[in-house]
Structure 1
């Protein structure tokens, strides 16, 4: 570059028109903002804004709340109404905590749908390209989605689980069948209901990431949670009993039991099996997300 008259007398390298100076200032003399890659905190903040501003999040969570609490109360009322007609064996096997949380087995559909929509909604609208432009590190973006989704569902899931428990126990108390939080395994079961819903949402997130299609992912989630147990119920003898214990819904739902059952795993073993399913699918989803085009 040839030095201009205004550069006369300046030592080499100190010219006013060097490339560094031009790059540092725009035409108005203002310094340009330096480009900074999005951090994990930035990705989490962005995902939090997305999940709380999308209208489907509110309606899906509301549906999960109404279905879970409503069905738990309805089933509790039906049981109390029919209690006098039950045999001695059915009365002895009755678990007021698990029965009071029965609505979770139906409300979990809404939380699974939310997990799917968190990722497939972006693929449907093309916003996934914008997200990847803002956060090019795909592992960071996927982890942020999982963290925000898991945090939201954990809070809402625990609220739903405790509400279903307390309201159903009020109904059971009419026949002195209620179980207090201080009784053996009750608090663990109620907290476990929220954990179970959280894992379902994360499992659905993984399936949504793998399939990238809302209808297909929702169908797959429903198949895992509802169709497989129906198939397992047709398997004979010990084989059928063993399969039903380790299927996703049967394993995860064991955390809400307070009494031993031959039909299910122990509470923490069951939740551990369901957690393993979720982790394996999340790892597979992350690998697919990193290797495929948007």
Structure 2
């Protein structure tokens, strides 16, 4: 297994698109985190008393992570699989590693570890640049020492890591970069956006929406708790990876 993991790490590093998606993840999280923080801070003075009481400065700085940065890190997960199908190198890979469960496991380990590192750099950078933006415009801000703030920032990294692993599973099922990326975007961005038009239980239980609660300091009483939400998201991602294994096991390369 160690040899398979090293091989997968070599393949991931050799993808030219990896550095681009890594850079985009960090840049999108920081740039849009600052822009959204600035916009929310300017609107703070016009909010009602109830909306001011519910204002969550930590969540505001992290919004860019799950609206924009997730697109880049989801693409990273997809490309780690579909690039092999696009070039045909999946055939020699399967010849060298006939145990397909180990192959998928190695891909998930390598991509998950890489995504976890990138995600944490992105979310901490977004938070540490977003809070001065809020305070500089006379809006409430937070520090990592405040209750639940560190959990929320770390949770944003866990959420982005789950999105990357989702990309691995979907890529293994769909095997097309465009098709798999479309599924990831729809499941993490488009469907949650229309959640307000659907029954309340849908937004509560849709995995990526439930997982986002880990980023909130001010809890939504109608949503799952932060830990329950992120756990449910990882369970759903594990289910997608299982379907990816079934596809890898019983479909020809």
- Give the TM-score band, short-chain normalised: over 0.9
The answer to whether structure 1 residue 47 and structure 2 residue 20 are counterparts is no
CA shift, 1:83, in A, is: 2.2
The answer to whether structure 1 residue 97 and structure 2 residue 80 are counterparts is no
Number of residue pairs aligned between Structure 1 and Structure 2? 251
The residue that corresponds to 1:182 in the other structure is 145
The residue that corresponds to 1:207 in the other structure is 170
CA shift, 1:249, in A, is: 2.4
Q: Which has the larger radius of gyration?
A: 1
CA shift, 1:262, in A, is: 3.0
The residue that corresponds to 1:246 in the other structure is 205
Q: Which runs of 5+ in 2 are unaligned?
A: none
Indicate conservation of the 8 Å contact 2:155/2:214, yes or no: yes
Alpha-carbon distance in 2 for matches of 1:112, 1:64: 9
The residue that corresponds to 1:157 in the other structure is 119
Q: 2:224 aligns with which of 262, 265, 273?
A: 265
Q: What is the TM-score with the length of structure 1 in the denominator? A: 0.82
Instruction: Report which of the two has the higher share of helix.
Output: 2
Q: CA RMSD in A?
A: 1.2
Alpha-carbon distance in 2 for matches of 1:172, 1:263: 27
The answer to whether structure 1 residue 71 and structure 2 residue 29 are counterparts is no
The residue that corresponds to 1:226 in the other structure is 189
Indicate conservation of the 8 Å contact 2:40/2:60, yes or no: no
Q: What is the TM-score with the length of structure 2 in the denominator? A: 0.95
The residue that corresponds to 2:80 in the other structure is 118
Q: Which runs of 5+ in 1 are unaligned?
A: 1-39
The residue that corresponds to 1:34 in the other structure is none
Indicate conservation of the 8 Å contact 1:244/1:263, yes or no: no
**More relative contact order in 1 or in 2 (CA 8 Å, sep 6+)?**
2
Indicate conservation of the 8 Å contact 2:25/2:118, yes or no: no
Alpha-carbon distance in 2 for matches of 1:83, 1:231: 25
